[in-house]
Amino acid sequence: FLIDQPEYSFLKELGLERDNPGVYSGQWQGRGPSVTSYDPGTGRPIAKVRQGNVQELEQTIGLALEAYKQWRQVPAPVRGEIVRQIGDELRKYKEPLGKLVSLEVGKIYSEGQGEVQEFIDICDYAVGLSRIYSGQLINSERADHSILEAWRPLGVVGVISAYNFPNAVFGWNAAIALTTGNSVLWKGAPSTPLVSVATTKIVADVLRRNNLPPVVTLCQGGTDVGQTLVADKRVNLVSFTGSCQTGRDVGVEVQRRFGKVILELGGNNALIIDESANVKMALDAALFGCIGTSGQRCTTTRRIIVHEKLHDQFVKALVGKYQQLIPKIGHQLEAQTLVGPVHTQQNVENYKAAIAEAKSLGGAVAFGGNVIQRDGFYVEPTVITGLPHDASVVHRETFAPIVYILKAKNVDQAIEWNNEVEQGLSSAIFTENIGQAFKWIGAKGSDCGIVNINTTTNGAEIGGAFGGEKATGGGRESGSDAWKQYCKRATITVNHSGELACAQGVVFNV
Protein backbone atom coordinates (compact mmCIF):
# COMPACT_ATOMS: atom_id res chain seq x y z
CA PHE A 1 0.00 0.00 0.00
CA LEU A 2 1.27 3.45 -0.94
CA ILE A 3 0.25 4.78 2.44
CA ASP A 4 3.05 2.73 4.02
CA GLN A 5 5.70 4.50 1.97
CA PRO A 6 7.52 7.59 3.26
CA GLU A 7 6.85 9.72 0.15
CA TYR A 8 3.12 9.34 0.74
CA SER A 9 3.24 10.66 4.30
CA PHE A 10 0.79 13.40 3.28
CA LEU A 11 -1.91 10.73 3.51
CA LYS A 12 -1.16 10.30 7.20
CA GLU A 13 -1.22 14.08 7.66
CA LEU A 14 -4.85 13.83 6.57
CA GLY A 15 -5.52 11.27 9.30
CA LEU A 16 -5.76 8.35 6.88
CA GLU A 17 -4.61 4.86 7.71
CA ARG A 18 -4.07 1.69 5.78
CA ASP A 19 -7.64 0.58 6.57
CA ASN A 20 -10.21 3.32 7.19
CA PRO A 21 -13.79 3.23 8.36
CA GLY A 22 -16.02 4.83 5.70
CA VAL A 23 -19.05 5.84 7.74
CA TYR A 24 -19.22 8.93 9.94
CA SER A 25 -22.20 9.90 12.05
CA GLY A 26 -20.48 11.41 15.07
CA GLN A 27 -18.14 8.46 15.22
CA TRP A 28 -16.38 6.39 12.63
CA GLN A 29 -17.48 2.88 11.68
CA GLY A 30 -18.02 0.71 8.59
CA ARG A 31 -19.46 -2.80 8.54
CA GLY A 32 -20.09 -3.11 4.80
CA PRO A 33 -17.75 -4.43 2.12
CA SER A 34 -14.19 -3.08 2.01
CA VAL A 35 -12.93 -1.30 -1.07
CA THR A 36 -9.33 -0.71 -2.09
CA SER A 37 -8.48 2.65 -3.57
CA TYR A 38 -5.94 2.58 -6.42
CA ASP A 39 -3.61 5.14 -7.92
CA PRO A 40 -4.80 5.35 -11.56
CA GLY A 41 -1.32 6.52 -12.51
CA THR A 42 0.35 3.26 -11.51
CA GLY A 43 -2.45 0.83 -10.68
CA ARG A 44 -0.98 0.41 -7.20
CA PRO A 45 -3.21 0.27 -4.10
CA ILE A 46 -3.23 3.38 -1.89
CA ALA A 47 -5.26 2.24 1.14
CA LYS A 48 -8.57 0.61 2.03
CA VAL A 49 -11.96 1.85 3.17
CA ARG A 50 -14.60 -0.17 4.97
CA GLN A 51 -17.88 1.04 3.47
CA GLY A 52 -21.23 1.18 5.21
CA ASN A 53 -24.09 -1.25 4.79
CA VAL A 54 -27.77 -0.39 4.39
CA GLN A 55 -28.46 -0.65 8.09
CA GLU A 56 -25.65 1.78 8.92
CA LEU A 57 -26.98 4.16 6.30
CA GLU A 58 -30.42 4.07 7.88
CA GLN A 59 -28.97 4.82 11.31
CA THR A 60 -26.93 7.63 9.82
CA ILE A 61 -30.04 9.20 8.27
CA GLY A 62 -31.68 9.09 11.71
CA LEU A 63 -28.70 10.83 13.29
CA ALA A 64 -28.53 13.40 10.48
CA LEU A 65 -32.19 14.19 11.14
CA GLU A 66 -31.57 14.66 14.87
CA ALA A 67 -28.59 16.89 14.11
CA TYR A 68 -30.74 18.98 11.76
CA LYS A 69 -33.28 19.61 14.51
CA GLN A 70 -30.58 21.34 16.57
CA TRP A 71 -28.84 23.01 13.68
CA ARG A 72 -31.96 24.72 12.31
CA GLN A 73 -32.17 26.66 15.59
CA VAL A 74 -28.69 28.11 15.19
CA PRO A 75 -28.88 31.61 13.66
CA ALA A 76 -27.84 31.67 10.01
CA PRO A 77 -24.81 33.96 10.52
CA VAL A 78 -23.61 31.64 13.29
CA ARG A 79 -23.97 28.72 10.90
CA GLY A 80 -21.98 30.82 8.43
CA GLU A 81 -19.25 31.17 11.05
CA ILE A 82 -18.97 27.37 11.20
CA VAL A 83 -18.69 27.23 7.43
CA ARG A 84 -16.00 29.91 7.66
CA GLN A 85 -14.05 27.65 10.00
CA ILE A 86 -14.46 24.76 7.56
CA GLY A 87 -13.01 26.99 4.82
CA ASP A 88 -10.09 27.96 7.06
CA GLU A 89 -9.40 24.34 7.90
CA LEU A 90 -9.44 23.47 4.20
CA ARG A 91 -6.90 26.25 3.61
CA LYS A 92 -4.61 24.55 6.13
CA TYR A 93 -4.99 21.17 4.45
CA LYS A 94 -5.16 22.39 0.85
CA GLU A 95 -1.78 21.00 -0.11
CA PRO A 96 -2.15 17.41 1.20
CA LEU A 97 -5.88 17.21 0.42
CA GLY A 98 -5.35 18.50 -3.11
CA LYS A 99 -2.55 15.99 -3.51
CA LEU A 100 -4.87 13.19 -2.41
CA VAL A 101 -7.53 14.37 -4.89
CA SER A 102 -4.89 14.26 -7.56
CA LEU A 103 -3.56 10.85 -6.53
CA GLU A 104 -6.95 9.15 -6.18
CA VAL A 105 -8.72 10.62 -9.24
CA GLY A 106 -5.72 10.84 -11.56
CA LYS A 107 -6.01 14.57 -12.20
CA ILE A 108 -2.82 16.61 -12.24
CA TYR A 109 -1.42 18.36 -9.17
CA SER A 110 -2.62 21.85 -10.04
CA GLU A 111 -6.15 20.58 -10.77
CA GLY A 112 -6.20 18.73 -7.46
CA GLN A 113 -5.23 21.96 -5.67
CA GLY A 114 -7.80 23.84 -7.76
CA GLU A 115 -10.52 21.49 -6.69
CA VAL A 116 -9.89 22.14 -3.00
CA GLN A 117 -9.72 25.86 -3.82
CA GLU A 118 -13.22 25.54 -5.29
CA PHE A 119 -14.46 24.18 -1.95
CA ILE A 120 -12.70 27.05 -0.11
CA ASP A 121 -14.27 29.58 -2.50
CA ILE A 122 -17.77 28.27 -1.91
CA CYS A 123 -17.21 28.43 1.85
CA ASP A 124 -16.33 32.12 1.51
CA TYR A 125 -19.41 32.61 -0.63
CA ALA A 126 -21.59 30.81 1.92
CA VAL A 127 -20.26 32.90 4.82
CA GLY A 128 -21.45 36.04 3.04
CA LEU A 129 -24.68 34.34 2.08
CA SER A 130 -25.40 33.51 5.70
CA ARG A 131 -25.72 37.24 6.43
CA ILE A 132 -27.67 38.27 3.35
CA TYR A 133 -29.94 35.51 2.17
CA SER A 134 -33.43 36.64 2.85
CA GLY A 135 -37.06 36.64 1.87
CA GLN A 136 -39.14 39.61 0.87
CA LEU A 137 -42.15 41.69 1.70
CA ILE A 138 -44.78 41.65 -1.04
CA ASN A 139 -47.59 44.18 -1.50
CA SER A 140 -51.00 42.81 -0.57
CA GLU A 141 -54.16 43.79 -2.42
CA ARG A 142 -55.96 43.95 0.92
CA ALA A 143 -55.67 46.98 3.21
CA ASP A 144 -53.50 46.43 6.25
CA HIS A 145 -52.30 43.06 5.07
CA SER A 146 -48.72 42.07 4.34
CA ILE A 147 -47.35 39.16 2.40
CA LEU A 148 -43.98 37.87 3.50
CA GLU A 149 -41.78 35.28 1.91
CA ALA A 150 -39.37 33.29 4.07
CA TRP A 151 -36.85 30.56 3.26
CA ARG A 152 -36.61 27.67 5.67
CA PRO A 153 -34.25 24.69 5.70
CA LEU A 154 -35.47 21.45 4.18
CA GLY A 155 -33.99 18.96 6.66
CA VAL A 156 -31.54 16.30 5.53
CA VAL A 157 -29.76 16.89 2.22
CA GLY A 158 -28.29 13.76 0.63
CA VAL A 159 -25.29 14.36 -1.63
CA ILE A 160 -24.19 11.66 -4.06
CA SER A 161 -21.04 12.76 -5.84
CA ALA A 162 -18.96 11.36 -8.70
CA TYR A 163 -15.29 10.33 -8.87
CA ASN A 164 -14.16 13.19 -11.09
CA PHE A 165 -14.82 15.95 -8.52
CA PRO A 166 -14.77 14.00 -5.27
CA ASN A 167 -14.18 17.07 -3.11
CA ALA A 168 -15.62 20.20 -4.77
CA VAL A 169 -19.06 18.83 -5.60
CA PHE A 170 -19.58 17.83 -1.99
CA GLY A 171 -18.26 21.29 -1.06
CA TRP A 172 -20.75 23.23 -3.22
CA ASN A 173 -23.61 21.30 -1.76
CA ALA A 174 -22.45 21.16 1.84
CA ALA A 175 -21.46 24.83 2.21
CA ILE A 176 -24.82 26.06 0.94
CA ALA A 177 -26.94 23.37 2.57
CA LEU A 178 -25.31 23.94 5.98
CA THR A 179 -25.62 27.71 5.75
CA THR A 180 -29.32 27.45 4.97
CA GLY A 181 -29.82 25.23 8.02
CA ASN A 182 -29.80 21.68 6.68
CA SER A 183 -27.76 18.70 7.72
CA VAL A 184 -25.84 16.87 5.02
CA LEU A 185 -25.46 13.16 4.37
CA TRP A 186 -22.78 12.38 1.83
CA LYS A 187 -22.09 9.31 -0.24
CA GLY A 188 -18.97 9.79 -2.35
CA ALA A 189 -18.05 7.64 -5.33
CA PRO A 190 -16.90 4.11 -4.41
CA SER A 191 -13.63 4.63 -6.30
CA THR A 192 -12.63 7.83 -4.45
CA PRO A 193 -13.39 6.83 -0.84
CA LEU A 194 -10.18 8.29 0.61
CA VAL A 195 -11.10 11.81 -0.46
CA SER A 196 -14.52 11.31 1.17
CA VAL A 197 -12.97 10.13 4.42
CA ALA A 198 -10.23 12.78 4.53
CA THR A 199 -12.64 15.62 3.71
CA THR A 200 -15.17 14.46 6.29
CA LYS A 201 -12.42 14.27 8.93
CA ILE A 202 -11.57 17.92 8.30
CA VAL A 203 -15.22 18.96 8.58
CA ALA A 204 -15.91 16.70 11.59
CA ASP A 205 -13.01 18.27 13.46
CA VAL A 206 -14.57 21.72 13.09
CA LEU A 207 -17.95 20.40 14.27
CA ARG A 208 -16.37 18.69 17.27
CA ARG A 209 -14.46 21.81 18.31
CA ASN A 210 -17.72 23.73 18.25
CA ASN A 211 -19.61 21.05 20.21
CA LEU A 212 -22.03 20.56 17.36
CA PRO A 213 -23.91 17.38 16.51
CA PRO A 214 -22.95 15.60 13.24
CA VAL A 215 -24.58 18.01 10.79
CA VAL A 216 -22.29 16.45 8.20
CA THR A 217 -22.40 12.67 7.95
CA LEU A 218 -20.84 10.24 5.51
CA CYS A 219 -21.80 6.79 4.33
CA GLN A 220 -19.52 5.38 1.67
CA GLY A 221 -21.15 2.46 -0.07
CA GLY A 222 -22.20 0.74 -3.25
CA THR A 223 -25.42 0.68 -5.22
CA ASP A 224 -27.48 -0.74 -2.35
CA VAL A 225 -26.53 2.16 -0.09
CA GLY A 226 -27.16 4.67 -2.89
CA GLN A 227 -30.59 3.24 -3.70
CA THR A 228 -31.63 3.21 -0.05
CA LEU A 229 -30.53 6.82 0.39
CA VAL A 230 -32.50 7.89 -2.68
CA ALA A 231 -35.65 6.07 -1.58
CA ASP A 232 -35.66 7.19 2.07
CA LYS A 233 -38.35 9.78 2.82
CA ARG A 234 -36.27 11.32 5.59
CA VAL A 235 -33.84 12.61 2.98
CA ASN A 236 -35.63 15.77 1.86
CA LEU A 237 -33.35 16.66 -1.04
CA VAL A 238 -31.10 14.40 -3.06
CA SER A 239 -28.32 16.19 -4.94
CA PHE A 240 -26.97 13.71 -7.46
CA THR A 241 -23.98 14.10 -9.79
CA GLY A 242 -23.42 11.30 -12.29
CA SER A 243 -24.61 9.83 -15.56
CA CYS A 244 -27.85 10.76 -17.33
CA GLN A 245 -28.98 7.15 -17.12
CA THR A 246 -28.60 6.80 -13.33
CA GLY A 247 -29.77 10.38 -12.82
CA ARG A 248 -33.06 9.65 -14.54
CA ASP A 249 -33.68 6.73 -12.16
CA VAL A 250 -32.72 8.89 -9.16
CA GLY A 251 -35.08 11.65 -10.31
CA VAL A 252 -38.02 9.29 -10.77
CA GLU A 253 -37.43 7.55 -7.46
CA VAL A 254 -37.18 10.79 -5.48
CA GLN A 255 -40.26 12.20 -7.24
CA ARG A 256 -42.19 9.04 -6.35
CA ARG A 257 -41.92 10.04 -2.69
CA PHE A 258 -42.31 13.79 -3.43
CA GLY A 259 -38.76 14.54 -2.36
CA LYS A 260 -36.67 17.26 -3.99
CA VAL A 261 -33.84 16.59 -6.34
CA ILE A 262 -30.89 18.41 -7.90
CA LEU A 263 -29.50 16.57 -10.91
CA GLU A 264 -26.08 17.36 -12.37
CA LEU A 265 -25.79 14.84 -15.19
CA GLY A 266 -23.85 14.43 -18.39
CA GLY A 267 -22.71 17.10 -20.80
CA ASN A 268 -21.85 17.10 -24.48
CA ASN A 269 -20.27 20.48 -24.57
CA ALA A 270 -19.45 22.29 -27.79
CA LEU A 271 -16.93 25.01 -28.50
CA ILE A 272 -17.91 27.05 -31.55
CA ILE A 273 -15.23 28.85 -33.57
CA ASP A 274 -16.77 31.65 -35.59
CA GLU A 275 -14.91 33.03 -38.60
CA SER A 276 -14.12 36.20 -36.61
CA ALA A 277 -12.65 34.24 -33.68
CA ASN A 278 -9.36 35.00 -31.98
CA VAL A 279 -7.95 31.65 -33.04
CA LYS A 280 -4.92 31.74 -30.79
CA MET A 281 -7.11 32.11 -27.73
CA ALA A 282 -9.58 29.52 -29.05
CA LEU A 283 -6.76 27.01 -29.41
CA ASP A 284 -5.75 27.44 -25.78
CA ALA A 285 -9.37 27.10 -24.73
CA ALA A 286 -9.69 23.92 -26.77
CA LEU A 287 -6.58 22.46 -25.21
CA PHE A 288 -7.69 22.89 -21.60
CA GLY A 289 -11.32 22.18 -22.50
CA CYS A 290 -10.63 18.87 -24.24
CA ILE A 291 -7.68 17.55 -22.27
CA GLY A 292 -7.95 19.07 -18.78
CA THR A 293 -8.72 16.33 -16.20
CA SER A 294 -8.01 13.91 -19.08
CA GLY A 295 -11.41 14.70 -20.56
CA GLN A 296 -13.29 13.62 -17.46
CA ARG A 297 -15.11 16.78 -16.44
CA CYS A 298 -18.81 17.00 -17.08
CA THR A 299 -17.90 20.35 -18.68
CA THR A 300 -15.14 18.93 -20.93
CA THR A 301 -15.20 20.15 -24.54
CA ARG A 302 -16.42 17.16 -26.53
CA ARG A 303 -17.24 18.85 -29.84
CA ILE A 304 -15.54 21.72 -31.62
CA ILE A 305 -17.70 23.24 -34.31
CA VAL A 306 -15.50 25.31 -36.62
CA HIS A 307 -16.48 27.73 -39.36
CA GLU A 308 -15.67 26.10 -42.70
CA LYS A 309 -13.25 28.88 -43.63
CA LEU A 310 -11.11 28.15 -40.56
CA HIS A 311 -11.62 24.41 -40.25
CA ASP A 312 -8.50 22.98 -41.88
CA GLN A 313 -6.16 25.58 -40.42
CA PHE A 314 -7.69 25.07 -36.97
CA VAL A 315 -7.34 21.28 -37.05
CA LYS A 316 -3.72 21.62 -38.11
CA ALA A 317 -2.91 24.11 -35.35
CA LEU A 318 -4.72 22.04 -32.72
CA VAL A 319 -2.87 18.88 -33.72
CA GLY A 320 0.36 20.89 -33.41
CA LYS A 321 -0.59 21.80 -29.85
CA TYR A 322 -1.49 18.18 -29.03
CA GLN A 323 1.94 17.09 -30.29
CA GLN A 324 3.59 19.43 -27.81
CA LEU A 325 1.71 17.68 -25.03
CA ILE A 326 3.18 14.25 -25.68
CA PRO A 327 6.19 14.75 -23.37
CA LYS A 328 3.79 16.05 -20.75
CA ILE A 329 1.79 12.83 -20.44
CA GLY A 330 2.68 11.17 -17.19
CA HIS A 331 1.92 10.45 -13.60
CA GLN A 332 -0.54 12.97 -12.19
CA LEU A 333 1.76 13.99 -9.32
CA GLU A 334 4.86 14.64 -11.42
CA ALA A 335 5.57 18.34 -11.73
CA GLN A 336 5.74 18.60 -15.53
CA THR A 337 2.62 16.49 -16.22
CA LEU A 338 -0.31 18.13 -18.00
CA VAL A 339 -2.09 14.94 -19.04
CA GLY A 340 -2.58 12.36 -16.34
CA PRO A 341 -4.23 8.93 -16.58
CA VAL A 342 -7.94 8.29 -16.87
CA HIS A 343 -9.57 7.06 -13.71
CA THR A 344 -10.09 3.33 -14.31
CA GLN A 345 -9.69 0.51 -16.80
CA GLN A 346 -13.38 0.99 -17.61
CA ASN A 347 -12.60 4.49 -18.88
CA VAL A 348 -9.88 3.00 -21.09
CA GLU A 349 -12.43 0.52 -22.48
CA ASN A 350 -14.93 3.32 -23.13
CA TYR A 351 -12.20 5.30 -24.88
CA LYS A 352 -11.35 2.35 -27.14
CA ALA A 353 -15.00 1.69 -27.94
CA ALA A 354 -15.65 5.34 -28.87
CA ILE A 355 -12.62 5.46 -31.16
CA ALA A 356 -13.56 2.19 -32.85
CA GLU A 357 -17.08 3.46 -33.38
CA ALA A 358 -15.86 6.82 -34.68
CA LYS A 359 -13.63 5.06 -37.22
CA SER A 360 -16.39 2.69 -38.31
CA LEU A 361 -18.62 5.70 -38.97
CA GLY A 362 -16.00 7.28 -41.24
CA GLY A 363 -14.19 9.50 -38.75
CA ALA A 364 -10.50 10.21 -39.29
CA VAL A 365 -8.11 10.20 -36.35
CA ALA A 366 -6.19 13.45 -36.76
CA PHE A 367 -4.27 12.82 -33.56
CA GLY A 368 -3.93 10.07 -30.95
CA GLY A 369 -6.36 7.18 -30.86
CA ASN A 370 -4.26 4.70 -28.90
CA VAL A 371 -3.98 3.31 -25.43
CA ILE A 372 -0.53 4.02 -23.97
CA GLN A 373 1.23 0.87 -22.83
CA ARG A 374 2.51 1.55 -19.34
CA ASP A 375 1.35 0.83 -15.80
CA GLY A 376 -1.82 2.72 -14.92
CA PHE A 377 -4.59 3.88 -17.25
CA TYR A 378 -3.16 6.11 -19.94
CA VAL A 379 -4.65 7.01 -23.30
CA GLU A 380 -3.55 9.43 -25.99
CA PRO A 381 -5.53 12.65 -26.17
CA THR A 382 -7.44 12.26 -29.41
CA VAL A 383 -8.79 14.50 -32.17
CA ILE A 384 -11.32 13.07 -34.62
CA THR A 385 -12.49 14.84 -37.76
CA GLY A 386 -14.84 14.15 -40.62
CA LEU A 387 -17.80 12.70 -38.71
CA PRO A 388 -21.35 13.83 -39.41
CA HIS A 389 -22.59 16.24 -36.74
CA ASP A 390 -25.26 13.76 -35.71
CA ALA A 391 -23.18 10.56 -35.63
CA SER A 392 -24.14 8.36 -32.67
CA VAL A 393 -20.70 8.60 -31.08
CA VAL A 394 -20.70 12.40 -31.39
CA HIS A 395 -24.01 12.55 -29.58
CA ARG A 396 -22.76 10.38 -26.73
CA GLU A 397 -20.71 11.57 -23.76
CA THR A 398 -17.54 9.47 -23.44
CA PHE A 399 -15.58 10.37 -20.32
CA ALA A 400 -12.18 10.43 -22.03
CA PRO A 401 -9.95 12.97 -23.84
CA ILE A 402 -11.60 12.62 -27.25
CA VAL A 403 -12.85 15.58 -29.23
CA TYR A 404 -14.85 15.54 -32.48
CA ILE A 405 -14.23 18.45 -34.82
CA LEU A 406 -17.16 19.39 -37.02
CA LYS A 407 -17.19 21.77 -39.97
CA ALA A 408 -20.12 24.21 -40.08
CA LYS A 409 -21.25 26.67 -42.75
CA ASN A 410 -22.00 29.48 -40.31
CA VAL A 411 -22.88 30.31 -36.70
CA ASP A 412 -26.57 29.52 -37.22
CA GLN A 413 -25.73 25.99 -38.24
CA ALA A 414 -23.24 25.69 -35.39
CA ILE A 415 -25.90 26.74 -32.88
CA GLU A 416 -28.32 24.22 -34.36
CA TRP A 417 -25.74 21.45 -33.86
CA ASN A 418 -24.84 22.72 -30.42
CA ASN A 419 -28.48 22.33 -29.43
CA GLU A 420 -29.36 19.08 -31.16
CA VAL A 421 -27.79 16.77 -28.55
CA GLU A 422 -29.82 15.52 -25.61
CA GLN A 423 -27.48 17.01 -22.98
CA GLY A 424 -27.45 20.73 -22.18
CA LEU A 425 -24.67 21.53 -19.74
CA SER A 426 -21.98 23.82 -21.11
CA SER A 427 -21.17 25.60 -24.37
CA ALA A 428 -18.90 28.35 -25.63
CA ILE A 429 -18.41 30.48 -28.72
CA PHE A 430 -15.28 32.25 -29.87
CA THR A 431 -16.27 35.31 -31.81
CA GLU A 432 -15.35 38.97 -32.12
CA ASN A 433 -18.68 39.72 -33.78
CA ILE A 434 -21.06 41.38 -31.35
CA GLY A 435 -24.14 40.31 -33.32
CA GLN A 436 -23.14 36.65 -33.21
CA ALA A 437 -22.25 36.95 -29.53
CA PHE A 438 -25.66 38.30 -28.60
CA LYS A 439 -27.43 35.80 -30.81
CA TRP A 440 -25.55 33.08 -28.91
CA ILE A 441 -26.78 34.27 -25.52
CA GLY A 442 -30.31 35.05 -26.70
CA ALA A 443 -33.42 32.93 -27.06
CA LYS A 444 -32.26 31.53 -30.41
CA GLY A 445 -28.81 30.79 -29.03
CA SER A 446 -27.34 28.04 -26.92
CA ASP A 447 -29.86 25.99 -24.97
CA CYS A 448 -27.31 25.05 -22.27
CA GLY A 449 -27.08 26.10 -18.65
CA ILE A 450 -23.60 27.51 -19.24
CA VAL A 451 -23.27 29.77 -22.29
CA ASN A 452 -19.77 31.23 -22.52
CA ILE A 453 -18.16 33.70 -24.87
CA ASN A 454 -14.42 33.66 -25.60
CA THR A 455 -13.58 31.28 -22.80
CA THR A 456 -13.61 27.56 -22.06
CA THR A 457 -16.59 25.25 -21.62
CA ASN A 458 -15.05 23.93 -18.40
CA GLY A 459 -13.64 25.55 -15.30
CA ALA A 460 -16.67 27.51 -14.12
CA GLU A 461 -16.30 29.74 -11.06
CA ILE A 462 -18.45 29.18 -7.98
CA GLY A 463 -20.19 32.59 -8.15
CA GLY A 464 -22.57 31.60 -10.94
CA ALA A 465 -25.22 28.91 -10.81
CA PHE A 466 -23.72 25.68 -12.13
CA GLY A 467 -25.79 23.12 -14.02
CA GLY A 468 -27.58 22.38 -17.25
CA GLU A 469 -30.78 21.78 -19.12
CA LYS A 470 -32.44 18.80 -20.81
CA ALA A 471 -30.81 15.44 -20.04
CA THR A 472 -28.26 17.23 -17.86
CA GLY A 473 -31.10 17.28 -15.36
CA GLY A 474 -31.97 20.95 -14.84
CA GLY A 475 -30.32 21.31 -11.41
CA ARG A 476 -28.25 24.30 -10.35
CA GLU A 477 -25.57 24.28 -7.69
CA SER A 478 -23.03 26.68 -6.29
CA GLY A 479 -23.62 30.43 -6.60
CA SER A 480 -26.27 32.92 -7.74
CA ASP A 481 -29.60 31.93 -6.16
CA ALA A 482 -28.92 28.17 -6.22
CA TRP A 483 -29.25 28.30 -2.41
CA LYS A 484 -33.02 28.48 -2.81
CA GLN A 485 -33.11 24.84 -3.82
CA TYR A 486 -31.86 23.89 -0.35
CA CYS A 487 -34.82 25.67 1.21
CA LYS A 488 -38.55 25.47 1.39
CA ARG A 489 -40.40 28.68 0.69
CA ALA A 490 -43.07 29.91 3.07
CA THR A 491 -45.57 32.49 1.76
CA ILE A 492 -46.96 34.23 4.80
CA THR A 493 -50.02 36.50 4.71
CA VAL A 494 -50.38 38.66 7.80
CA ASN A 495 -53.64 40.45 8.48
CA HIS A 496 -53.11 43.44 10.79
CA SER A 497 -56.42 45.16 9.96
CA GLY A 498 -58.47 43.79 12.86
CA GLU A 499 -61.13 42.52 10.41
CA LEU A 500 -61.28 39.49 8.21
CA ALA A 501 -61.28 40.24 4.48
CA CYS A 502 -61.17 37.73 1.63
CA ALA A 503 -58.94 38.25 -1.40
CA GLN A 504 -60.33 38.80 -4.90
CA GLY A 505 -63.22 40.77 -3.35
CA VAL A 506 -65.04 37.60 -2.30
CA VAL A 507 -67.84 38.28 0.22
CA PHE A 508 -68.52 35.48 2.67
CA ASN A 509 -70.43 36.79 5.68
CA VAL A 510 -73.50 35.52 7.48
**Interacting residue ranges for ligand UN1, rule: CB under 6 A:** 118, 164-165, 169, 241, 297-299, 458-460
For the bound state, the minimum distance from the C-beta of residue 267 to ligand UN1, rounded and expressed in Å, comes to: 8
Beta bridge partners of residue 187, listed in sequence order: 160
Residues whose CB falls within 8 Å of the CB of residue 168, separated by 6 or more in sequence, listed in order: 115, 116, 118, 119, 122
- Whose Cβ is closer to ligand UN1: residue 53's or residue 332's? 332
Phi, psi of 188 (to 5 degrees): -80, 170
- Whose Cβ is closer to ligand UN1: residue 290's or residue 391's? 290
For the bound state, the minimum distance from the C-beta of residue 161 to ligand UN1, rounded and expressed in Å, comes to: 8
For the bound state, the minimum distance from the C-beta of residue 459 to ligand UN1, rounded and expressed in Å, comes to: 5
Ordered DSSP codes for 326-347: GGGBS-TTSTT-SB---SSHHH
For the bound state, the minimum distance from the C-beta of residue 167 to ligand UN1, rounded and expressed in Å, comes to: 11
- Give SS3 for 451: strand
**Are the C-beta atoms of 157 and 239 separated by less than 8 Å?**
yes
For the bound state, the minimum distance from the C-beta of residue 191 to ligand UN1, rounded and expressed in Å, comes to: 15
Beta bridge partners of residue 184, listed in sequence order: 157, 216
Please provide the distance, in angstroms rounded to a whole number, between the alpha carbons at the two ends of the chain: 82
Residues annotated catalytic, as ranges:
264, 298
For the bound state, the minimum distance from the C-beta of residue 55 to ligand UN1, rounded and expressed in Å, comes to: 30
- Give SS3 for 383: strand
User: Strand order in 382-385's β-sheet?
Assistant: 364-367, 382-385, 402-408, 301-307, 269-273, 426-430, 450-453
For the bound state, the minimum distance from the C-beta of residue 303 to ligand UN1, rounded and expressed in Å, comes to: 16
- Whose Cβ is closer to ligand UN1: residue 215's or residue 265's? 265
- Whose Cβ is closer to ligand UN1: residue 14's or residue 298's? 298
**Are the C-beta atoms of 215 and 207 separated by less than 8 Å?**
yes
Q: How many residues belong to the chain?
A: 510
- Whose Cβ is closer to ligand UN1: residue 387's or residue 465's? 465
Ordered DSSP codes for 100-125: HHHHHH---HHHHHHHHHHHHHHHHH
- Whose Cβ is closer to ligand UN1: residue 57's or residue 460's? 460
Residues 216-243, buried b or exposed e (16+ Cβ, 10 A)? bbbbbbbeebbbbbbebebbbbbbbbbb
- Packed helices 193-209 and 168-179: angle between N→C axes, nearest 10 degrees: 30
- Whose Cβ is closer to ligand UN1: residue 162's or residue 366's? 162
